[in-house]
Amino acid sequence: MASEILERLFSLKGKTALVTGGYKGIGRAVAETYAEAGAHVAVVARNLHGCEEAAREIAGKYGVRTVGKSLDVSDSKRVDGVVQEIAGELGRIDILVNSAGIPGSEKPVLKMTDADIDEVMNVDFRGTFLVSRAVAQVMVRQRGGKIINVSSILGKIAARNMAGYCASKAAVIQLTRVMALELARDNIQVNALCPGYVLTEFNRDFFASEAGKGLVKRMIPLNRVGTLDELRSTALYLATCPPFLTGAEVYVDGGHTLI
């Protein structure tokens, strides 16, 4: 009985997911989760080799169809072309996860250059907008789909020397709300996944340091950082959630935004 309930609520068999930034980090974890749940998966990022390798590994491990393609999410024409290629090769796009992003330059506002702000906004906000627009057109024709935009707790709270990143992630949250409103009648749900500090291979050394331990103690009520598994389960829920859930911001942050 339990397996039947899980199958009914969380299976992605017959679905197709597109994950930007999907060959490493949060994107890779989400892509693997969806494949494990039965979905066919398209992995895109600027690193073609990384995407193709990730697609091969995911296909070999879970037995689903996969595609790996190079994509600069800030390039409008390339985005439109790649989205159409994926829809043609895999038949449809049921789930989009906008995970591609960069932290940008860590500088105070008065020392930021035009290039600094353009770089982070072009990827984190413009990229999310462009891919969402292209995929939403496919979903409208299908009469349904789910879009999950990966934002951050820094879309809600402020952090020194992170103006570009904070602004871009706040823009992603507001874009999520507007898209949810506009696409509701097309049976497309749009929600934002907002992680706090999550342990990855890139920050492991920092969080093992005294500075990292001090930050955790000061800022996270659960007194630890999150895990990729905790994001995986949330991403799966958002890909299978009931249509009545749309325009939401889901914070997976150990209570960080409560302080």
Q: Which of 23, 62, 165, 251 is catalytic?
A: 165
Cα gap 56→97, rounded to integer Å:
19
Contact 221/256 with Cβ under 8 angstroms? yes
Count Cβ neighbours within 10 Å for each residue of 191-228 and write b for 16 or more, e otherwise. bbbbbbbbbbeeeeeebeeeebeeebeebbeeeebbeb
**56, 69, 99, 167 from 129: Cα distances, Å:** 28, 19, 12, 14
34 included as an active-site residue: no
Count of beta carbons in the 10 Å neighbourhood of residue 142: 14
Query: Reduced to 3 states, what is the DSSP secondary structure of residue 4?
Result: helix
Which positions are annotated as active-site residues?
Answer: 165
